[in-house]
Amino acid sequence: MTREEAQKEIAGLSEKINYHNDLYYQKNTSEITDYEFDHLLDRLIQLEQEFPEFKYPDSPTQRVGGTITKEFETVYHKYPMLSLSNTYSTEELKEFDQRVKKGLNDESYSYFCELKFDGVALSLTYENGILTKGVTRGDGTRGDNITNNVKTIRTIPLRLKGDFPGEFEVRGEAFLPKENFLKLNREKEDIGEEPYANARNTASGTLKMQDSGVVAKRGLDCYLYSMMSDSEKIASHEASIELLIKLGFNVSRTFAKCDNIDQVIEYINEWETKRMELPLETDGIVVKVNSIQQQNVLGYTAKSPRWAIAFKYKAESAATLLNNITYQVGRTGAVTPVAELQPVLLAGTTVKRASLHNANEITRLDLRLGDTVLVEKGGEIIPKVTAVDMSKRPADSKPIEYITTCPECNTELIRHEGEAVHYCPNLTGCPPQIKGRVEHFIQRKAMNIDSLGERTISLLYDKGLVYSPADLYDLSFDDIFQLEGFKELSTQNVLKGIEASKETPFESVLFALGIRYVGKTVAEKLAQGMRTVDRLANATYEELIEIPEIGDRIAQSVLVFFQDPVNRQEVKRLENAGLQLEIKDKPNTKISSALADKTFVVSGVFENYSRDELKETIKNHGGKVISAISGKLDFLLAGDKMGPAKKEKAEKLGVKIISEVDFLKMIEQ
Q: What is the largest distance, in Å, between two alpha-carbon atoms of the chain? A: 87
CATH of the domain at 13: 1.10.287.610
Domain assignment of residue 411, yes or no = no
pLDDT (tens digit, 9 = 90+) per residue, 36-46? 787 888 888 88
Taking residue 386's Cβ as centre, other Cβ atoms within 10 Å add up to: 14
pLDDT (tens digit, 9 = 90+) per residue, 113-163? 999 998 999 999 999 999 999 999 988 889 999 999 999 999 999 988 888
Strands, DSSP E only, in 313-441?
317-329, 334-346, 349-355, 372-378, 382-388, 422-423
pLDDT surpassing 70 at residue 448:
yes
pLDDT for res 66 = 63
The residue type at 109:
Y
pLDDT for res 669 = 65
What does pTM read for this prediction?
0.67
Query: In this structure, is the dihedral angle defined by the CA atoms of residues 127, 129, 134 and 135, taken in order, positive or negative?
Result: positive
Residues 459 and 532 in one domain: no
Domain assignment of residue 399, yes or no = no
Listed residue (204, 237, 240) closest to 220, CA to CA = 204
pLDDT surpassing 70 at residue 27:
no
pLDDT for res 191 = 78
Single residue among 519, 547, 577 that ends a domain in this structure: 577
pLDDT for res 315 = 74
CATH of the domain at 635: 3.40.50.10190
Domain assignment of residue 405, yes or no = no
pLDDT higher at 155 or 315: 155
Residues 23 and 158 in one domain: no
Mean of the pLDDT values across residues 518-539? 92
Domain assignment of residue 418, yes or no = no
Residues 111 and 230 in one domain: yes
Report for 75-79, 197-201, 469-473: range of highest mean pLDDT: 469-473
Confidence of residue 605 (pLDDT cuts 50, 70, 90): confident
Confidence of residue 627 (pLDDT cuts 50, 70, 90): confident
CATH of the domain at 91: 3.30.470.30
> What's the number of domains the chain is made of?
6
Residues 628 and 484 in one domain: no
State what percent of residues in the chain have pLDDT above 70.
96
Q: How many residues does the chain have?
A: 669
Catalytically active residues are 116
Domain assignment of residue 199, yes or no = yes
CATH of the domain at 358: 2.40.50.140
CB distance 230 to 166 below 8 Å: no
CATH of the domain at 552: 1.10.150.20
Element (H, E) at 287: strand 282-289
pLDDT (tens digit, 9 = 90+) per residue, 280-299? 888 899 999 999 999 999 99
Residues 42 and 138 in one domain: no
pLDDT for res 332 = 87
Contacts of 218 (CB under 8 A, 6+ apart): 176, 180, 184, 206
Domain assignment of residue 400, yes or no = no
Listed residue (553, 538, 648, 666) closest to 603, CA to CA = 648
Residues 103 and 181 in one domain: yes
- Domain interval for residue 122: 75-312
Quickly list H helices, 89-172. Answer: 90-103, 147-150
Domain assignment of residue 514, yes or no = yes
Residues 192 and 101 in one domain: yes
pLDDT surpassing 90 at residue 328:
yes
Domain assignment of residue 413, yes or no = no
- Least confident segment among 191-205, 244-258, 430-444, 577-591: 577-591
Single residue among 392, 420, 444 that ends a domain in this structure: 392
CA triple 229-231-234, angle to 5 deg: 65
CB distance 399 to 408 below 8 Å: no
Residues 350 and 489 in one domain: no
Residues 526 and 650 in one domain: no
pLDDT higher at 368 or 615: 368
Residues 250 and 327 in one domain: no
Confidence of residue 587 (pLDDT cuts 50, 70, 90): low
pLDDT higher at 378 or 174: 174
Indicate the average pLDDT of the chain: 89
CB distance 193 to 557 below 8 Å: no
Residues 199 and 250 in one domain: yes
pLDDT for res 416 = 84
Taking residue 519's Cβ as centre, other Cβ atoms within 10 Å add up to: 18
